[in-house]
Chain A
Amino acid sequence: MQTTVQPKAISARSHRIRRRLTNLAVTAALAVVCYYFVAPVLWLVLASTKTQEEVFSSSPLWFGSTFRLWDNVTHVLNYNNSIFLTWTKNSLLYTIPSVAITIISSASAGFGLAKYRFRGRTLLLFITIIALLVPATTLAVPIYLEGSKLGIVNTPWGVILPTSASAFGVWICYNFFSFQFNSEIMQAARIDGANEYQIFAFIALPTARGVIATVAMLTFVSNWNNFFLPFLMVARDDLMPLPVGLGNMAAQTVLGAQASSAAGSAISIMDVITGAFLVALPIALLFVLVRRYWAAGLLGGSMQGQ
């Protein structure tokens, strides 16, 4: 009896040990990968609590001798008549309307393309896919050139309108309405006397809540973080959104191209570091909180068409 049981027990134990070792090795490898992604972020958080000297002299992944976060934050917020708050306000002013317009235009276009058959529909779907594939950054200079002809450069509209049409949003909504929204419900509503706009507003939109949340979040983050288009579109300090303002601020310190012209300017490196921290913090928290929607949305948008 014993002779037959023992080898089995040994092999089970060695199997378990091997399994533990694999777990350990995989976790260790992933920890190294994680260090690469997390350490710079942690550095930013810690650096914004230090003095300028200690950013370069103290351990990069630990606190300095004094905790200066509040002083640094107050200094950035007070810099240049609280321009940082103006940039924050501008970011909200540009992002919220563009997200609202994107939601409405994407949901309705997706619905129209999915639920009706009309002449030119295939062509419009084709155009949507092409628009999906053209990188937005290649259009920034052309949009600026057109915008200066239209006179929307240095106005909020120059930032809001070009970022209010999302081919990706239309595609996600189109997929949702094509594959997950039943046409029979529409038929029943028509028999009950609802017109097409009522069907869209009171039946289709509420059903598409999840997809619309995805589109809203994707648009919000990409427009909030957008640098190049607003950078071209607004040259005035008080019209800049946060990323452009921060970039401008960085450019006036030793980091930037305009370092020489800014000799004696009031901006310190600490303002730039703390500013970067303040810009990154809320959007990182928001994004991390709602990340599930994001992956599902991108996947839904890209895969369901098959």
Chain B
Amino acid sequence: MATVDSSVQTEGARMPQPMAIRHGRSALAGTRLAPWVFIAPFFILLLAFSLGPGLYSLWMSLHSDQSGKFIGVKNYQTIVQDSDFQSAAGVIWQCVYTLAPLFCIFAAVVALVLDSKAGWGKSLIKLLIFLPFAIPATASTILWAFNFSPDSSVFASVLHRMGAQNVLFFSKPTTLPYALMNIVVWQNIGAWVMVLTASLAGIPQELVEMARIEGAGAMSIVRHIKLPLLAPVLVLMIISVTSYVLTLITEPYLLQNTLSIPATYTPNMWAYNISFQSSAFNLAAAAAMLLLIVSSTFAIIFVWRSGIYRLQERD
């Protein structure tokens, strides 16, 4: 994943010379120290609030809540065997495999249409699709709670006018994941459409013209020029959406009553519930570690396979 070109001349070795000549030893030492001073604030914070909590949770997860003794992976076994956690994992898995392709196709199609020459008023449309992304998840969940209810929904009123009777959204428990996916799509897709159209706009016009002169149709330009260029953004998008869904909590937590969602509906809700209702903090730490490991492994494999985020140096 990280391929660093070692043939690149090392700047540090070459830079300090003129200073050393002019200012002597202390200046040289200052230059050597400088990069460490520059990187220190970030890495100290990262150590304290990412690596630290991770390691502390790992340590906690290996100890018993009752006796406080080291019990190995027993907490993990308890979680994996817990029926509530299993169904929570099932829900999330369903959301991931339904949403990832759907999100990708929807975003790509909308972006390609917005990038095409057809249609009017597209910069306004782009802005409107983007709007939900700017709304805090708490507020958007609240507004959706009302739009799931037939008496106040802007969708029920349209369907009603089209002749539908007794519109009820997501009333069955099996349809609940779709209610959550709906909010995730509504909230996040506009931002990705924005990024996709920005990268489509970056495609050199000569390349598209050349392909057209060679006889390529609109569809084959999309397939052979535009989609390959979008691929890295789509990878990034899948990672981001997947980790959002894997750690889903805000939306289902706030919709608990409106849609009668169980308190342990997603793995993160399960972890929250076990730590705050049952005070089983070591078990909660194990659940958090499980989520962290699964989502990070997924992201790392995806990035590694696709080869984005390569560390290639330029002198």
Contacts and interface: CB of A to CB of B under 8 A. Distances in A.
A165 B131 contact: no
B311 A112 contact: no
B231 to A, nearest CB: 11
A145 B15 contact: no
A135 B284 CA distance: 17
A41 interface: yes
Interface in B135-173: 135-140, 142-147, 149, 151-158
Interface in B1-39: 1-2, 4, 10-13, 15, 18-19, 22, 27, 30-32, 34-39
Interface in A104-128: 104-106, 108-109, 111-113, 115-118, 121-122, 124-127
B53 A225 contact: no
B49 interface: yes
A135 B39 contact: no
A43 to B, nearest CB: 5
Interface stretch (A6-14, A69-77, A78-86, A183-191): A183-191
A250 B60 CA distance: 33
Contacts, number: 362
Contact of A143 (B35, B53, B116): B53
B14 to A, nearest CB: 9
A155 interface: no
Contacts of A142: 53-54, 56-57, 285, 288-289, 292
A225 B137 contact: yes
Given A27-B119, A109-B43, A137 B247 contact: yes
Given A60-B153, A227-B250, A294-B194, A41 B135 contact: yes
Contacts of A277: 139
Interface string A20-47: 0011011101110111111111111001
A261 to B, nearest CB: 12
A267 interface: no
Nearest to A282: B134
Nearest to B131: A41
Contact of B19 (A121, A190, A197, A246): A190
B18 A167 contact: no
Interface in A175-211: 178-179, 183, 186-187, 190-191, 193, 195-197, 200
Nearest to B236: A302
A299 B256 CA distance: 36
Contacts of B121: 27
B309 A228 contact: no
Contacts of B48: 161
A255 B116 contact: no
Given A113-B39, A191-B18, A303-B199, A41 B295 contact: no
Given A141-B57, A191-B18, A228-B249, A256 B254 contact: yes
Q: Chain B, interface size: which category?
A: 35 or more
B276 to A, nearest CB: 8
Contacts of A55: 146, 152
Contacts of A266: none
Contact of A37 (B39, B190, B268): B190
Interface string B91-120: 000000000000000000010011010111
B195 interface: yes
A138 interface: yes
Contact of A131 (B50, B142, B199): B50
Contacts of A146: 49, 52-53, 56-57
Given A39-B154, A291-B130, A295-B194, A105 B45 contact: yes
A283 B140 CA distance: 13
Interface string A280-305: 10011011100100111011001101
B21 to A, nearest CB: 11
Nearest to A34: B128
A44 B139 CA distance: 9
Contacts of B176: none
A270 to B, nearest CB: 11
Interface stretch (B78-86, B203-211, B220-228, B296-304): B296-304
A34 to B, nearest CB: 5
Contact of B50 (A44, A125, A134): A134
Contact of A255 (B45, B145, B197, B268): B145
Given A44-B143, A288-B130, A129 B1 contact: yes
6 contacts: A135-B244, A140-B288, A142-B57, A284-B131, A287-B133, A302-B309
Kindly list the 7 A-B residue pairs having the minimum CB-CB distance in the complex, ordered from nearest.
A112-B38, A287-B134, A135-B243, A137-B247, A165-B45, A116-B35, A142-B53
Interface of B: 1-2, 4, 10-13, 15, 18-19, 22, 27, 30-32, 34-39, 41-43, 45-46, 48-50, 52-54, 56-57, 60, 110, 113-114, 116, 118-122, 125, 127-140, 142-147, 149, 151-158, 186, 190-191, 194-195, 197-199, 202, 232-233, 236, 239, 243-244, 246-247, 249-250, 253-258, 263, 268, 271-272, 275, 281, 284-285, 287-289, 291-292, 295-296, 299-300, 303, 308-315
Interface of A: 19, 22-23, 25-27, 29-31, 33-44, 47, 55-57, 59-61, 101, 104-106, 108-109, 111-113, 115-118, 121-122, 124-127, 129-135, 137-147, 149, 161-162, 164-165, 167, 170-171, 178-179, 183, 186-187, 190-191, 193, 195-197, 200, 221, 224-225, 227-228, 232, 242-244, 246-247, 250-251, 254-257, 259, 272-273, 276-277, 279-280, 283-284, 286-288, 291, 294-296, 298-299, 302-303, 305-306
